[in-house]
Amino acid sequence: MMEAAFYSLTAITLLSALGVVLARNTLHAALLLGLCLAGVGGLFATLGADFLFGGQILIYVGGIAVLMTFVVMLAGRASELHLRQVNDQWLAALLICGVTFMGMQKIIDSFSNTRAPATTTATTAGVGRILLDEFAVPFEIISVILVAALVGAVVFSRPRAKRDRS
């Protein structure tokens, strides 16, 4: 049961991630990004991280993927659908990925006997307690960062004429 869920979610995640990277149409890439993020959310669920699963669906699939789709529709042109989307350095990038994989493989192999404990504990209560206790200062800093990001987004996306007048 666990294996079936893991392998099907892995297939969804990795295939849609390949689609994100290789799709010619940027709108298709944005929609596949939503599917890929939902697959990652499913992997969180198989890991028993229930709070991350909910956060992933709410923030990534419901927020970031939708925002990405909006921007693609705002800033894209229909004539761009036939342009090549991959630059000339793809071979070098492939080599970098291959070399990085060689290095990662050693780390992956060293954990091949680590099995999960049978019992899972619900994480939501524990995460909430840790956020307000040990990680209280970073938690407050994150809220400042989010406010700064909001203000920055408004400033950057204001029309130019208005910005010059002020």
> One symbol per residue from 139 to 158: x for binding another protein (CB under 8 A), - otherwise; what is it?
---x--xx-xxx-xxxxxx-
Sign of the alpha-carbon torsion through 54, 3, 115, 16: negative
- What is the rounded distance in angstroms from the CA atom of residue 50 to the CA atom of residue 42? 10
- Which member of 12, 28, 35, 76 binds another protein (CB under 8 A)? 76
**Residue 27 and residue 69 in contact, taking contact as beta carbons nearer than 8 Å:** yes
3 counts as binding another protein under rule CB under 8 A: yes
Question: Which residue, 74 or 78, has its beta carbon nearer to another protein?
Answer: 74
Task: Tell me: does residue 73 bind another protein (CB under 8 A).
Answer: no
Angle of CA points 126, 127, 131, to nearest 5°: 120
- Using CB under 8 A as the binding rule, the residues of this chain from 10 to 69 that contact another protein are 10, 13-14, 17-18, 20-21, 26, 29-30, 33, 36-37, 40, 43-44, 47-49, 51-52, 55-56, 59-60, 63-64, 67-68
Residue 81 · residue 73 · CB < 8 Å: no
Q: How far is CA 104 from the centre of its chain?
A: 20
Q: Which of residues 78-117 bind another protein (CB under 8 A)?
A: 80, 83-87, 89-90, 92-94, 96-97, 100-101, 104, 107-109, 111-117
Q: How many residues bind another protein (CB under 8 A)?
A: 89
Do residues 39 and 8 lie in contact, with contact meaning Cβ atoms separated by under 8 Å? no
